[in-house]
């Protein structure tokens, strides 16, 4: 493989599955029996703010009961040791990548441990329950909401992601079903700019055919092996 310098790594719910955080679309999916339209859209928030706030309060509270797994730790080790550019783009809203020590990281779909003010747009670290009509510490409006990118809302830092994909020598997708855009399209963008592409997932995803290489299995086993392989050749 030609000398690699710039890596972009996309992660999804599958990278947190072995930490005990249920995925979205697997058996017993994450949505706690809710239809996605009822908890992860702006319309749902307007229609039933208590339901949506409670859904995210439960998931935020659950973060205290889970730990990063071997895949998170391996990616943090790669982040610390990799001499070239590296960006972990996670679709996940949990904080397991950062708790494992990753720093070159962005959450494109928002974060459970953050609140967003719908009035002034400020994002505020938030670890406890967030009831509807909570006062924004910045503007004083009762407009704090979960800092989550709902369906129909623009994911965060898309320009930074697109610039990283354009410069990538290798694009790796870990633990995602390839069901949600624009994340599901990143592999095509990376290929367009000439990056090599690798998928690691428990089973073939919706986008497997776009990847030059696919490794099937649990992230907790595949990712540490891949990181050691990469660092050995760095
Ligand atoms: C936007 C919030 C535009 C946080 C989420 C038709 C065609 C194309 C696109 C669309 C369309 N109709 C609508 C759209 C757009 C829509 C979309 O893609 N819809 C889909 C359903 C068709 N996208 C959007 O709305 C996005 N915004 O497009 O904005 C725009 C333009 C201009 C101006 C304004 C707006 C916003 C999308 C973000 C939505 N928010 N989550 C939260 O509540 O968590 S999405 C949600 O799905 C999560 O973020 C999650 O991360 C994401 C993707 O799911 P996965 O992570 O892949 O999880 P999943 O369970 O699906 O899969 C897990 C995988 O892991 C499986 O494959 C499994 O096999 C594997 N696995 C399991 N265990 C393991 C494992 N792998 C390894 N090891 C294991 N142990």
Please report, in tens digits, the pLDDT of each residue of the chain (234 residues total): 558 999 999 999 999 999 999 877 666 554 667 777 788 999 999 999 999 999 999 999 999 999 999 999 999 999 999 999 999 999 999 999 999 999 999 999 999 999 999 999 999 999 999 999 999 999 999 999 999 999 999 999 999 999 999 999 999 999 999 999 999 999 999 999 999 999 999 999 989 999 999 999 999 999 999 999 999 987
First vs last C-alpha separation in the chain: 11
The pLDDT, as a whole number, for residue 137 is: 96
The three-class DSSP label of residue 179 is coil
Ligand 1 centroid – CA 126 distance (Å): 23
Distance, CA of 180 to CA of 167 (rounded, Å): 23
pLDDT at 52: 96
Ligand 1 centre to CA of 217 (Å) is 20
Residue 179 near ligand 1, beta carbon < 6 Å: yes
Q: Which pLDDT value is given to residue 32?
A: 61
> What's the confidence (pLDDT) of residue 29?
52
Q: What six digits make up the tokens of 188?
A: 């095509």
Q: Tell whether ligand 1 has an atom less than 6 A from the beta carbon of residue 203.
A: yes
Cβ 91 under 6 angstroms from ligand 1: yes
Q: How far apart are CA 161 and CA 89, in angstroms?
A: 8
| 154: exposed, middle or buried (Cβ count in 10 Å: 0-12, 13-18, 19+) | exposed
* Candidate list 53, 72, 107, 109, residue with the active-site label: 109
Does ligand 1 lie within 6 Å of residue 101's CB atom?
no
Backbone angles phi, psi at 184, to 5 degrees: -65, -15
Asked if 209 is an active-site residue, the reply is no
Per-residue model confidence (pLDDT) at position 27: 62
Distances (CA, A) of 189 to 18, 162, 166, 185: 29, 8, 7, 7
DSSP code of residue 206: T
Quick one: CA dihedral 33, 208, 5, 15, positive or negative? positive
CA 3 / ligand 1 centre spacing (Å): 32
The best mutation among 24, 94, 107, 110 to test binding of ligand 1, ranked by most ligand atoms within 8 Å of the C-beta, falls on: 24
CA 228 to ligand 1 center in whole angstroms:
29
Question: Does residue 52's CB lie within 6 angstroms of at least one atom of ligand 1?
Answer: no
Helices (H), the chain: 36-39, 42-47, 49-62, 70-81, 96-100, 158-167, 186-192, 219-233
Beta pairing partners, 174:
11, 200
């Amino acid at each position: 493989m030609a000398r690699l310098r710039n890596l972009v790594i996309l992660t999804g719910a599958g990278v947190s599955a072995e930490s005990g955080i249920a995925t979205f679309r697997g058996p017993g999916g994450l949505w706690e029996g809710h239809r996605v339209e009822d908890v992860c859209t702006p319309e749902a928030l307007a229609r039933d703010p208590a339901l949506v706030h409670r859904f995210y309060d439960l998931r935020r509270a659950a973060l205290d009961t889970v730990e990063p797994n071997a895949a998170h730790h391996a990616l943090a080790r790669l982040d610390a040791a990799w001499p070239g550019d590296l960006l972990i783009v996670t679709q996940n809203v949990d904080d397991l990548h950062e708790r494992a020590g990753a720093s070159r990281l962005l959450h494109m779909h928002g974060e459970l441990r953050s609140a967003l003010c719908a009035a002034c747009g400020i994002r505020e670290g938030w670890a406890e329950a967030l009831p509807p009509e909570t006062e924004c510490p910045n503007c004083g409006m009762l407009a704090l909401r979960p800092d989550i990118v709902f369906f129909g809302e623009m994911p965060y830092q898309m320009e930074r992601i697109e610039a990283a994909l354009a410069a990538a020598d290798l694009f790796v997708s870990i633990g995602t079903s390839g069901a949600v855009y624009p994340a599901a399209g990143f592999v095509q963008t990376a290929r367009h700019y000439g990056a090599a592409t690798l998928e690691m997932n428990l089973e073939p995803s919706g986008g497997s055919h776009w990847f030059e290489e696919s490794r099937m299995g649990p992230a907790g086993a595949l990712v540490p092996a891949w990181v050691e392989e990469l660092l050995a050749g760095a």
